Structure 1
Amino acid sequence: MREEAERWLRSLPNELAPHREVMRALMREAERDPAIRVLVVGCSLGRGAADELSDVDAMYAVADTAWRDAVRESAGVVRRVGDVIDMHQQIIEPANRELVPYQHTFAQYASGVQLDLVVAVARDRQAPRPDWMVLYDPDGRIVGEPQATAATEELVRRWMHVALVHLSACAKYLTRGSLWEANAQLDAARAELWRLWAVAERIADPQYGLTAVLDAPDAPMPGNIEATVAGLDRRALRSAAMSCAEILVWTWPRAISTVATADLAMPPLAEWVLKQLRDVAT
């Protein structure tokens, strides 16, 4: 494992030399701490798409009994990896109560590298994600074929509902003349549209929305998606929101049909929101 990891690190281009040093330091910390059972990096580095502006997205998986100690000591680990300009840490409580909490750390290094580090409880066995590069795994816990996260019917329906609610709020704020708030709601609706588009195009990890679409080789963009962007002008924002709603309506049948075989009808809220937007005075 060590030789394979080193071979991969050496293969990185020169522009990623600072990233390489951060990852090597993370490996050294894993090797010296018996509580750390897995170190992986992912996202653009794992996919081979990183450039000098990319973060190092990494995860330490630690023994269950050592997680709290690892969380307390993680700031020291991050500082030993490099010269830290600033750092922020938080414990994330997953919405799914069946999942255990994990710690997220963001660190800015003087080298220019940004680190996003997760400290999680190690599983006995875990399939890798498609974008993972395993740098340390002495127990062989990461096994099997890479598995992307697939959307569920519940998620697809939720994303559509949330998008429509944001567009409804956009219409309300346009009517009130609050253009900043209308623009924020339009941006939020478009974020959900990207997730639905990724589902419709059968792109892996659609929960990442735009990032998933851009990372998929040769993935098409939604037609007229540029029309969903506008400045702080009521007429332009209304037109952009209408375009966003129309693309949602067009995308919905393909998105829902990838995860469901029944109840494929357009949500009634869609027509209501379209009417709201049409009725906004400009």
Structure 2
Amino acid sequence: MSVGLASKQFPRLRRRFAGWSDSLDRIGVQSQFYFRTVGSIGAAVIGYRAETVRLIAQMSMGTGALAVIGGTTVIVGFLTVSTGALVAVQGYNQFADIGVEALTGFASAFFNVRLIAPLTAAVALASTIGAGATAQLGAMRINEEIDALEVMGIRSVAYLASSRVIAGVIVVIPLYCVAVVMSFVSARFGTTAVYGQSTGVYDHYFTTFLNPTDVVWSFLQAVSMAVVIMLVHTYYGYTASGGPAGVGEAVGRAVRTSLISAAFVVVFLSLAIYGQSGNFHLAS
């Protein structure tokens, strides 16, 4: 029986295989774009330095009305302040139920570094820097500005996508410093000033269980998430279609995909780093 005859006799099976085929095609197209973007990083650094520096300034402090409040830096700071306060509230109350509320400093040193700060920074990056990059590239695509760049001999992938990946990786380093510091300060303030725990007790357990190696691994997680988030958002913006409504749809899909991808990055890196030994000793 020929394939064409089988597809006519079994239309439901044909639709199912067509859906799988389309999904594999999309994965292949995305992978090809990601490889092109990463491979063009050198060209972006050498040939488009001014554009890369402009993007770094725009992503860090913002432009226009966003620059008044400090751009992404302040947004990340406020997000991590709230999550650090939650560590103080939940940690102190949960530990107090079993009489070991002094270990709230341990909760801040352990959970903020390994899970809370990286995931909060990922949400902030995807919803601010990433969404902005998708909207910008999508608007350029529907206005045929990307085609105009190609006509002028400018390598659009390196100029638009690779430069944004570089800028995202550079910007995430000070942003993540702000995120970690604000989460630590917020947790300490909530525990000592609000709940009245001694600062000496809190600092003792915090410094005892804060492993500098964990902080380094946490920065590695943040940089890895920044690469993945910027790759996803530049792809959806670069391939947007359908007018302004298509750009909005591309932003929504990019944010959803990047958040899921960032969660997978945190999970797999955490398994690779802490999965076997945990790098943790409560008796210390």
TM-score by length of 1: 0.25
Greater helix share, structure number: 2
TM-score by length of 2: 0.24
Question: Which of the pair has the greater relative contact order for Cα pairs under 8 Å at 6+ separation?
Answer: 2
